[in-house]
A and B are shown apart, each in its own frame.
Chain A
């Protein structure tokens, strides 16, 4: 039994911290917020060189063959700096291709992703925002040897910079999953500007998009378990990001409470502030336990991996909401200003709360599992 990181994992964490502090400071995050594309090519290349894009991909495709724990370590650090870019969306799409792709599909996409030349995203949500894959309404109809896809996908992360979109669509055989080049005719993209400029969502309309028979991922009609597995990884990944943002907010609050004076005293000496900070620490530590337990359970193929992923997403969602919100309260007026960095992390955690199933969705999954 060892809940601590191994030496290699700790090294990964430390190097990610050092790298991101230097290469993804809040000045960069702020300048990308004004950028229509919203991410930095330079940063992407550097992340690729660090091996982060292939972290959990199989070695034959340029990956390192590591797992969800390592991925979560990187994602926590990315959340800590409110990293703007298509990292999670890309590695999630890659994980689906690694799970179910043909060797041709893997050859084409995984190597490109690991070397930083392709970005990708899974379009989980249709217009009614149901995270249950069975609710997908987008349709795929046979057209000769290929397919024609029609429907609307909402809140697709970073679709505007993606080279490939993974589109779940209903077929006569059940739910299918298709790898579609983002530039395919019939696809139209519209940005969905929201509070977190580090999470870009895109409305994706598919109007009779033609793809070949080789676009089908996995067994035709058998996409549900693939998407569920991807959602579990996404849930744990989002939990890691929220954990990072929450820890950053806690640290900023504690630092501030040590220097800010009111009534002739440091505000950290007031129980009203100190007790809030203690509660924030409690939530952050529990969020750490939940996130990394779930990451480990996925890697180990533990019986409770699905449960742990839902526990992590729902618990850490609530925890980060509390911690990031209380951070603004501890700071007072300055925490409400655009100039101060706190809102970057507050908003980033807020955006992640909704992704890969919100807390309500995962609580329902928990009840199904525990009452089964």
Chain B
């Protein structure tokens, strides 16, 4: 065991920090063009698609370097890169499963954010049971015609393209009849409606596809291979950002301490109240454990180990922690914790970073914390995965498996 960063990694971190101090925007980027501009700057510096192979425009950087850059971005409160799904999911999917022509056509523009991407997976009736999705893609010779509805599409409003899962065969068991496509979002058959969440903002959207067209050359992999492809892409969504996430929690913790020193109960600051101290001590211990666990994962990734199903433990751990964390903050801050707009004369720190990467109040962060245990596989799904694939517990009897068995 040696948990020290190597001298090279320390130097890389210092360089990254210096560059961010000189270049990171000082305020929130309001327009899409400003956000593209910042993205482009990060790209030119080699901070976008760092893990991608060099031949496709990446840096072939190891997990530690990627984690350090993400961590420093979080520490600097820098705005997030704009094409996150394109870079973390769509690009790697094309690299692994795409044709040479697809790679030439799409990869560079994902990296530069010239084309923005979204992911068209979940449907109103296919959430945790994603494989039951109904959106259809019908083979019309040189193209497919797509009909159906997607939901929970991050960045749907600004996306130029979407990575689509659609059913191409209804006669086979559900996991086998799904194919994966690249869908052009800027066409008459695609309608995007922003979906307002409990936070009041609309990071997600609903996407309606009515006789939308997908070229045959935009099928990824083989017909019927979509589920398998989605499984690999889903696992790109877990694990990598763990250090940066903890750094954001720690930044918010600093704000919490500040507030607990400022607010008073009776004749003393909240921070001197033994009940509050016990709560703060507990949550800080949990936060530190998140950090240790992140280092452990990073160390395994650096050695080329693939966490596989064990990454479900990580996702379950941080998302459940995040809910407990902000519930506790709410308990300590009382109604201050519910302010959606910071006070004009603000002597109580109510302005924090949320895990979504944008600035907001505690209330915003608290509301956001409800998302993590649902997206990218709910806690219940993660526990099923852990039970079956990590602990080797028997599979449950499922109505759909029974039916599929009868049909075959």
Which residues in A have some Cβ–Cβ distance to B below 8 Å?
1-6, 9, 69, 254, 257-258, 265-266, 268-271, 273-275, 277-279, 281-282, 285-286, 288-290, 292-293, 295-297, 300, 302, 307-308, 310-311, 314-315, 360, 362-367, 370-371
Contact of B281 with A366 in the complex, beta carbons under 8 Å: yes
**Nearest chain A CB to B1's CB is how many angstroms away?**
5
- The stretch of B159-167, B188-196, B337-345, B390-398 in contact with A is B390-398
- The stretch of B16-24, B98-106, B378-386 in contact with A is B378-386
Q: Kindly state the separation between the CA atoms of A108 and B226 in the bound complex, as whole angstroms.
A: 72
Is B44 part of the contact surface with A, judged by Cβ < 8 Å? Answer: no
8 Å CB contact of A268 from B6, B271, B286, B394 = B394
Q: A277-B391, A367-B281 are in contact. Are A271 and B289 (CB under 8 A)?
A: no
Number of residues of chain B lying within 8 A (CB) of chain A: 49
- The stretch of B118-126, B135-143, B297-305, B356-364 in contact with A is B297-305
Contact of A271 with B4 in the complex, beta carbons under 8 Å: no
Q: A269-B394, A281-B391, A293-B295 are in contact. Are A3 and B3 (CB under 8 A)?
A: yes
Q: Kindly state the separation between the CA atoms of A308 and B3 in the bound complex, as whole angstroms.
A: 13
**Nearest chain A CB to B380's CB is how many angstroms away?**
7
Which residues in B have some Cβ–Cβ distance to A below 8 Å?
1-6, 9, 64, 253, 257, 261, 271, 277-278, 280-282, 284-286, 288-289, 292-293, 295-296, 298-300, 302-303, 313, 316-317, 380, 382-384, 386-388, 390-397
8 Å CB contact of B2 from A2, A278, A285 = A2
Q: What are 18 A-B residue pairs whose CB atoms fall within 8 Å in the complex?
A: A1-B64, A2-B3, A2-B299, A3-B298, A6-B1, A258-B394, A265-B394, A269-B396, A273-B393, A281-B390, A282-B386, A286-B293, A289-B289, A289-B292, A289-B295, A296-B1, A311-B285, A366-B284
Q: A289-B293, A308-B288, A371-B271 are in contact. Are A282 and B394 (CB under 8 A)?
A: no
Contact of B288 with A282 in the complex, beta carbons under 8 Å: no
Chain A neighbourhood of B1, CB < 8 A: 2-6, 9, 69, 292, 295-296
Main secondary structure of the interface of A (DSSP, over half): helix
8 Å CB contact of A282 from B278, B302, B317, B397 = B317
Chain A neighbourhood of B257, CB < 8 A: 370-371
Chain B neighbourhood of A5, CB < 8 A: 1
Chain A neighbourhood of B390, CB < 8 A: 278, 281
Q: Kindly state the separation between the CA atoms of A258 and B298 in the bound complex, as whole angstroms.
A: 32
Q: A4-B299, A4-B300, A271-B396 are in contact. Are A278 and B278 (CB under 8 A)?
A: no
Residue of A nearest to B253 (CB): A370
Chain A neighbourhood of B299, CB < 8 A: 1-4
